[in-house]
Structures are given as C-alpha cells and as structure tokens.
Structure 1
Amino acid sequence: MRRSRRWSVLGAAVVVSLLSGCAASSSPSPSSPSAAATPSPSASPTPTPPANPSPDPVAALTLEQRVGQLFMVGTNATTASPATLAAVADRHAGGIFLSGRSRAGIAATADVVARFTALGHPDGAPLWVATDQEGGEVQVLQGPGFDAMPYGIRQADLSDAQLRASAEEWGRELAAAGINLDLAPVADIVTSKATRFDNPPIGGYGRQYGYDAETVAAKAGAFAEGMRDAGILPTFKHFPGLGHVAANTDTAADVVDTTVSPDGPDVAVYRPLTEAGPSAVMVSSAIYGRIDGSRPAVFSPTVVSVLRDEIGFDGVLFSDDLSAAVAVSAWSPAERAVDAISAGVDVVLVSAKPSVFPAMYDAVLAKAQSDPQFAAQVDAAAARVLAAKADMP
C-alpha cells in the first residue's frame, strides 16, 4: 500500500514556521460575519476553545540532536563499529549505513542493527538504517535469507509488475534485517549501450536501467514502488546524473560532466520518479559544467535549486559519500559537511570512513551556534528528516 505524503506537508509547515518566526492566528477577523454575529438571547454562549497547534518536532530536539539528524555514519555490515556506536550515542547521529559486503544473512545482520537501535534516540527521531542494495555487484547484504539480486540492466528485462514484485520481496528481506532505507535505485541515464563501458561508475558495473528517460523512469520507478510496498524508503541517485562521466567520483578528482543540463532528460526523469511516492534523492559529487562548473554538485546551491525549484522535490537530500571520495578530497572533512548543508543537502553520508565524523559534526554544530542563517538551514533540514522518519511504517 502506498504511504501518505502528509509528513512532507508537515515538514514544509515546520520550515515556514522556523523561518518566519510567526504562526497564523486561528481567531476570526473582527470584520468577518462570524465575529459580528450576535448569539440568540436564549442560547448559552459556548466559549471558543484555544488553538491547539501540533507540536513542533524540531523544537523538541536540542541543537546538538538536530545536527546529529543530518548525518548517516557507516559501519561494516558484519559488525557494529565502535566509532559508529559512539557516533550515535555521543553525537546523536540520526542514521547508520551498513557498508562493505556481508554474506552472514538476515539474522546476523539484524543482530548488528540491534546494537544501534538499542541505543537511546530522541522521541520522534528513530534511527535510519540504510545500505546499498541495488543488485549485481552493488549488493551489500547477501547470505541466508537474502536473494541474489540481478544487475540493474538485467532487472530492466522484467516487466514493470514483475520488477515491482521482486523489489517488494527484496525490501521485505531488508526489513527483516532491520533496514528501513535503501540507497537505491540508480536513476542515471547512461549515454548508450555501445559506450556503456566508457562510463565507469554506472555503465561499467551494469547498474543502469537503460539508456533513455522513459525506460529509466519505468524501471527505477517499479523498483521504488516495490521497496515502498515493503516499508522501505527508496533513494534515487545520483542527481543530476552520473551516466555520462568518464571517471568514478569515489576514485578520481575533478570528475566533470559536460552533458547534463537543467532542462535535459537526466534531470527531468526525477520528476515522475519523486512524484510517484515518498523517496529520498542522493546528490552526486561530480561537477556539472552546464549547471555549475565551479564546484561539485553536492556543494552547489545552484544544483540543489534545480531539484527543489524546477523538479519540485521537497523530500530529503543525501550527499554521496563525503568521508573518503577522492572527488571531494581537496576539502577538509569539516568543510565538506558545512558546505554540503550550506548548499541545501539534508543528510551528509559518512559511509566509508566513519573516523572523520566527529570533525564533521563539530564543525556543523559550531557554525550553527554562531551563524543564525546556517542554524535556520540546519533546522529546515532536520524538519525534512523528521517528517520523512515520521512517515515510516
């Protein structure tokens, strides 16, 4: 069953309240007919009950807890890393990411996840537990209870209905292990079948669903619907598109795309995908010459505004990994976190190297304490995160 988007509306209302500092009055205008009417002498006046606005979930958190909600920290899928346990317990990290590869199966994975969910979490802010469960060579969790998932390009051979049903089963496996968010599916449009291996991060691994927007929208959309059916929040990636680059941002600096444009199919495919139901979006760390050639997308307010303003997406934005990716190595860990949130990213992914998380968290907290405008961005991002979490089953 498709879940309601009511919490996206709540998140928007929270943001407006945070930024405006005022609330609309529920009292009628003195000039309105209801205010001017005089009750019948035989009627007993009924006092108007005071307005009872919904509690603000962001205001219920300390600033330290709000900042923590803006991070997802990695742990090896086979063990609860002490550094990541400390990230959740001491710096309020709002999410964990199971990284690497595990063949231990569902029960063993659930035991790892339980170490983290047993820690204290603020009311209304349950822990996000995520992984990369795409298929093919990008399937973190395997072993007893987990089906082998085909490559994305082979998933695309299934009908939409078959793919949705398969993704629902894969999602139920994740849920049984304690996962509630999948950093999948890939929404990148690879240039062509003939040149797919010239695109190392996507085509080189067979992660793509196809070579045109219509196919990608149908197949990535079917995968996402199946995940939602299982109670898993899907994440479309890597906005605004990694299907045309000639290097991998994980292993190369200055990865520049010269194809993707604000009004092209790589961006437009996100409209039907995100309108279909609750989802998150991951922002790439490549540089997009036709949108903002001055910095990686994850640090670019211009790129983020294309997704927010042109596509109209109001859900949670994740960064790609900012802990160890070579594409962002010219920035310090502290700068990466502050710059991503300043650009409009909601959650900083610290998946490969959790040891850099304390420096990232401390930098964001310090800036929020000293810069009111940045503090408002932190609150707005936390509102979107809490709204998405509230909509989880």
Structure 2
Amino acid sequence: MNLHAPLVIDVAGHSLTTTDRQRLAHPLVGGVILFGRNWQDRAQLTALCRQIKAVRPDLLIAVDHEGGRVQRFRTDGFTHLPPMAALGELWMRPDRREGASALTAMNAATATGYVLGAELRACGVDLSFAPVLDLDYSESSVIGDRSFGRDPRMVSVLAQSLMHGLQQSGLGHCGKHFPGHGFVQADSHLAIPVDRRSLGAILSEDAAPYGWLSASLQAVMPAHVIYPRVDARPAGFSARWLQEVLRRRLGFTGAIFSDDLSMAAARQIDGHAVSFTTAALAALQAGCDLVLLCNQSVVEAGAPIDEAIDALSRSVLEGQWQPDPASEERRLALLPLSPALPWDSLMISARYMQALSLLPS
C-alpha cells in the first residue's frame, strides 16, 4: 500500500499511452479523472478503465457526472439524467396529501442516484463528483439548475436520497462545493468569487447540509471561493475552513478533494499567481487529502503533470510536505467494495428498470 497518493490526474485520449502508464504507476498518483474526450462508446470506456486498473488496481477512477448539463457520457445507452433542480421542482409540486410531493421527490432522487451510479459502475468508473450541495440563490450561472434548490433542508434530504441510490449501485460520491458556491455570481473557472457574508450566516444556510450529512458523505470538495470574513484564502486552501470548520465543527471524517487546480481561482493565493505545484502543496497543507490536476495531459504533451509529480516528489525529500497515512486510508475507502453488475445484466435487472420508471420526466 502507498504511504499517500494524493494526485488525481487526467489522460488525453480513448486509451492509455506508455507515458500515461508511467504517470499512473507513480506512487504519488492516486487516481484518474475522466472527461468527454475520453469517451467514444461504452466498450471503449470499459476498456480504458480496465487499462487503468491494470496499471494499479488501487487507482481511483472518477468523473464529473451529475445529470443535466454536467454529464460526461450521454450516448450508447447512457440515460440522459435530469438536472438536480428537476428533483427540487418535484418536491415543491402541489399535492393535496401533505408531504406526498416530498416523498415522491425523495424516491425519484434515490432512483436517479442508482441509475447514475449503476451505469458508470458497469463501465468501470469508481466515483462521481456529485451531489452538488450548493444552494440556488438565482445568482450563479455556473451552479443554477445543478442545485436541488434554495432551502438547505430540502437540499440535504434530496442529496441524502441521491447518495442512497449511489450507495446501492456501489459508486462513490463527493459533495460539493463546501461551504457553498451558490451565493456568488463569478465563475471560479474564470475568476475568483468573493462571498462577504459572515461565518454564522454561511453556517446557518449554505454549509448546513455538510453538517447534517457529515455521517453520510464519503467525500467533500471545497469551493475556489474566498470568504474574507473567515479567511483571506479560498476555502480549498484554508486550514480554517477544512480543519477547523469542516472537520472539527461539522464532524466530517471522509476524504477531501481539492477542486480543479487548473481553474483561474486556484491559481491565485494571497494575491500572488502560483504554479500547479504551489497550489497542490497549499491545498494538501490546508487539509485536502487529494488534489485534482485536470485537462493537463493535453497541454504540452502533459508537461504540467510531469512537473507537478516531480515537484511534489522533491517536496517530500526536502521536508516541505509529509505524506499522511490517514489521507491514504480515506482515498482507499472510496474504492468500490464489490464487483459491478455488467451492462447487459443491468439492462434487464428489475431494480434498474424500476429506477428508470421513477426518473423525473
């Protein structure tokens, strides 16, 4: 077992190259994140996942696959999943029977989680970066219908239901974006959003689902958002947010992923432009267990990935960063515990067929 493998990297194409295999074999690499460019069809995706596991069975294979507009695989039999806002709308639908709409929405959320998870697992994927726990203040275009809704109680219950479906399928999950991205307008892919509310206001609203779901969430991804009344650094680089608030105050014990360190909001810390390596070290030192370096295999033949691996290796040798066995335990806990149902068997299974019938139209 590795002492700690925090880097989650990407690969460029439909199959692994010799260079991909060399990178994935490095003991500091703990996983792969897949994108639309890695998709041709189910057979190809399944073969790619097998190639990754052949390099190292403990490598975590992850993808952003939420439903709605954030769904990497959409053809060759994959179900077009509803955005999470559709489940929130189902919850709010008028019904003469008190609470009936909420129960219908919860059942639909569990079904959505099962379909999402079972289809990915059948192709060899281990984890999806879902559910979105951000509240919808109708301000953020990057969140929007990815959110279940505005009420943190409704968001928590529907997320718990979705996570139950994911758990039934065997797929790992990750709640995002702690402590909340929905209040700010700026897109952290392009700029650094700033949320000037107090810690108390954020804890009572946006961060509330993380406390209520702390015993259920397997992983959490912090936001590349600055909350200056709490810390001058974005949450993903803030020990106050990750260790003091998320771990100690809210009681979360699972894995913490950084958001993509190639995003604009991740490349500025304390007012200074930083490299991937500096950002990765800052995230790890703040309390992240795993750090994402996305879309870098297609930049200069993946040179940024090689630089990050080499620099992190040097930081270990020079004592700038020490691998954490507890972080490695949290990473390994995200791997599936049982074999997935093959696609053809899934398509005729009673549970899958019933789940499809419960999806919002």
TM-score, normalised to structure 2, is 0.80
- Tell me which amino acid in the other structure corresponds to 2:219: A
Match of 2:131 in 1: 185
Q: 1:83 to 1:288 in 2, by over 3 A?
A: farther
Quick one: distance in 1 between partners of 2:280 and 2:30? 15
Q: 1:82 to 1:104 in 2, by over 3 A?
A: same
- Does structure 2 retain, via aligned residues, the 8 Å contact 1:73–1:357? yes
Match of 1:93 in 2: 29
Q: 1:358 to 1:248 in 2, by over 3 A?
A: same
Give the alignment partner of residue 344 of structure 1, picking from 260, 263, 287.
Answer: 287
- Tell me which amino acid in the other structure corresponds to 1:361: I
Quick one: distance in 1 between partners of 2:275 and 2:143? 27
Q: 1:221 to 1:76 in 2, by over 3 A?
A: farther
Q: Which runs of 5+ in 2 are unaligned?
A: 91-103, 268-272, 340-361
Cα offset for 1:318? Answer: 0.2
1:214 paired with 2:153, answer yes
CA deviations over 1:255-284 (Å, ceiling 9, x no partner): 2112362532211211222323x5111111
Quick one: distance in 1 between partners of 2:147 and 2:258? 20
Cα offset for 1:344? Answer: 0.6
Cα offset for 1:369? Answer: 2.4
1:366 paired with 2:305, answer no
Give the alignment partner of residue 278 of structure 2, picking from 335, 342, 346.
Answer: 335
Quick one: distance in 1 between partners of 2:22 and 2:87? 38
Q: Which runs of 5+ in 1 are unaligned?
A: 1-59
- Tell me which amino acid in the other structure corresponds to 1:264: S
Cα offset for 1:91? Answer: 5.0
Match of 1:162 in 2: 108
Quick one: distance in 2 between partners of 1:108 and 1:246? 38
Quick one: distance in 2 between partners of 1:134 and 1:144? 18
Match of 2:209 in 1: 269
Quick one: distance in 2 between partners of 1:345 and 1:392? 27
1:142 paired with 2:80, answer no
Cα offset for 1:147? Answer: 0.2
Match of 2:348 in 1: none
Q: 1:391 to 1:112 in 2, by over 3 A?
A: closer
Quick one: distance in 1 between partners of 2:141 and 2:49? 32
Name whichever of 108-117 and 298-307 sits farther off. 108-117
- Does structure 1 retain, via aligned residues, the 8 Å contact 2:214–2:253? no
Give the alignment partner of residue 218 of structure 2, picking from 269, 276, 279.
Answer: 279
Aligned-residue identity in percent: 30
- Does structure 2 retain, via aligned residues, the 8 Å contact 1:260–1:266? no
Quick one: distance in 2 between partners of 1:183 and 1:172? 15
- Does structure 2 retain, via aligned residues, the 8 Å contact 1:235–1:279? yes
1:256 paired with 2:191, answer no
- Does structure 1 retain, via aligned residues, the 8 Å contact 2:126–2:336? no
Quick one: distance in 2 between partners of 1:226 and 1:326? 34
- Tell me which amino acid in the other structure corresponds to 1:307: L
Cα offset for 1:367? Answer: 2.2
Match of 2:253 in 1: 314
Cα offset for 1:219? Answer: 1.3
Match of 1:36 in 2: none
Quick one: distance in 2 between partners of 1:389 and 1:184? 15
Residue correspondence of structure 1 range 369-388 to structure 2 within 5 A: 369-371=317-319, 374-375=321-322, 378-388=324-334
- Does structure 2 retain, via aligned residues, the 8 Å contact 1:77–1:98? no
Quick one: distance in 2 between partners of 1:143 and 1:245? 33
TM-score, normalised to structure 1, is 0.74
Q: 1:390 to 1:135 in 2, by over 3 A?
A: closer
Quick one: distance in 2 between partners of 1:363 and 1:132? 27
Quick one: distance in 2 between partners of 1:358 and 1:245? 34
- Tell me which amino acid in the other structure corresponds to 2:292: L
- Does structure 1 retain, via aligned residues, the 8 Å contact 2:172–2:335? no
- Does structure 2 retain, via aligned residues, the 8 Å contact 1:315–1:388? no
Cα offset for 1:130? Answer: 0.6
Q: Which has the larger radius of gyration?
A: 1
Cα offset for 1:99? Answer: 1.3
Give the alignment partner of residue 298 of structure 1, picking from 236, 250, 256.
Answer: 236
Q: 1:218 to 1:260 in 2, by over 3 A?
A: farther
Cα offset for 1:327? Answer: 0.9
Q: 1:213 to 1:392 in 2, by over 3 A?
A: farther
Give the alignment partner of residue 224 of structure 1, picking from 131, 138, 163.
Answer: 163
- Cα RMSD between the aligned structures? 2.2
Residue correspondence of structure 1 range 35-74 to structure 2 within 5 A: 60-61=1-2, 66-67=3-4, 69-74=5-10
Cα offset for 1:352? Answer: 2.1
